[in-house]
Amino acid sequence: MFKKIKNFSLSELKDLLKSAGFDSFRAEQIFNYIYVNKKESFDEMAILPAKLRQFLSETFNINSITDYKFSLSKDGTKKFLFSLTDNNKIESVLIPDEKDTGRLTLCVSSQVGCTLNCTFCATGKLPFMRSLESAEIIDQFMSAEKISGQKITNIVFMGMGEPLYNLKNVIVAIKILSDPKVTLISQRRITVSTVGVIKKIQELAEEGLKVKLAISLHATTDKTRNMLIPYSEKVNMSQLGDAIEYFYRKTKQNITYEYIYLEGINNSDEDVKRLAKITKRVPSKVNIIPYHDISFTGAEAVQEFKVPTRASIDKFSAQLRNLGVNVFCRTSSGFDIDAACGQLAYSERTNI
């Protein structure tokens, strides 16, 4: 069975080549061919000895994505449905900045499906199949750039799955993408999102990376959060706050709180006060995200969930700002192609 060469860091590839009887310095040439020159065949790596090219061709594959489908939103958002070598499928979303600043963000998946079953999220309605390999994460980035013809400036691990449940492969992918030999993207432009897997937040902090952490908060009390995010029954908000503070103290990276706005559920005056208090613990910002309808999944919808009006979101945001909270209101980019936040559930699903 072929190995995926993008699963290997530069140092690992050097060790592998050396153990196979080849000069370890060839690893840097291979890295340059793959990540800088974007070669997709070992036969194209002309500087390598023929014997090494043969070894690579017989041992590895370069691409972990075998096919794709592409959807374009009227707002410029692009959604990719990627097919993997085992016929599983994942989705990634390329999001332009609405202010036309040149910022182009790729929302990548870390798993096929998800185990968390958050009530507002379509991905949670999919069966969990497996975690992605590092190569499959990297190839979302490289394929999206190739297909779109655009330079991606930012990555957010906010696609399908819980990134911290696949932390080892996520970290390897981040280190390869930001390796100074190729520097496809800076670590400072990468955000990892989580519902709050405490031990893994601490592990990520210990890695010494310069990535940002986003917390899928979505509520200001344990009772409401447990209703929205079943996983949160395993960890209360006080424990989550401790883990967040630990991450900040270790990394000095500001925290982002993601907050799905749900009219009548998490937008009371008391929610405003509690959310403001939460954000004061460490330097942070709050992304207010409108709830997006997920009835297209065919799953039984939560009756209380309604798509909010812009006026109600603006009022909530203004209340937070008056209390000194750094607030951003996310748009519904890609809503018309089921690519907005909470909507990722691959298009050819059959088991929902």
Burial environment of residue 261 by CB neighbours within 10 A (0 to 12, 13 to 18, 19 or more): buried
| CATH code of the domain in which 143 resides | 3.20.20.70
Residue 127 and residue 18 share a domain: no
Tokens representing residue 246 in the block: 């630990």
For residue 52, give its domain range: 3-61
Residue 343 lies in a domain: no
Do 57 and 69 share a structural domain? Answer: no
Confirm whether 91 is a catalytic residue: yes
Marked catalytic residue, from 107, 114, 118, 341 = 341
pLDDT top residue among 100 and 195: 195
For residue 336, give both structure tokens: 């018309």
By residue count, the chain amounts to 352
So what's the pLDDT on residue 316? 96
What token pair was written down for 315? Answer: 């009022």
- For residue 118, indicate whether it is catalytic: no
Shared domain for 239 and 125, answered yes or no, is yes
The answer to whether the beta carbons of residues 244 and 215 sit under 8 Å apart is yes
Do the domain assignments include residue 125? yes
pLDDT of 332 reads 57
What confidence category does residue 44 fall into, taking pLDDT thresholds of 50, 70 and 90? very high
Same domain for 146 and 95, yes or no, is yes
- Active-site residue (options: 91, 136, 145, 162): 91
Taking 90 as the threshold, does the pLDDT of residue 122 lie above it? Answer: no
Over range 220-224, report the average pLDDT.
Answer: 97
Specify the pLDDT at position 83: 95
**Which neighbouring-strand residues pair with 259?**
288
Total domains in the chain come to: 2
Residue-level pLDDT at 132: 98
Cα separation, 32 vs 37, whole angstroms: 6
Given this model, what pLDDT does residue 97 score?
83
262 in the same domain as 137: yes
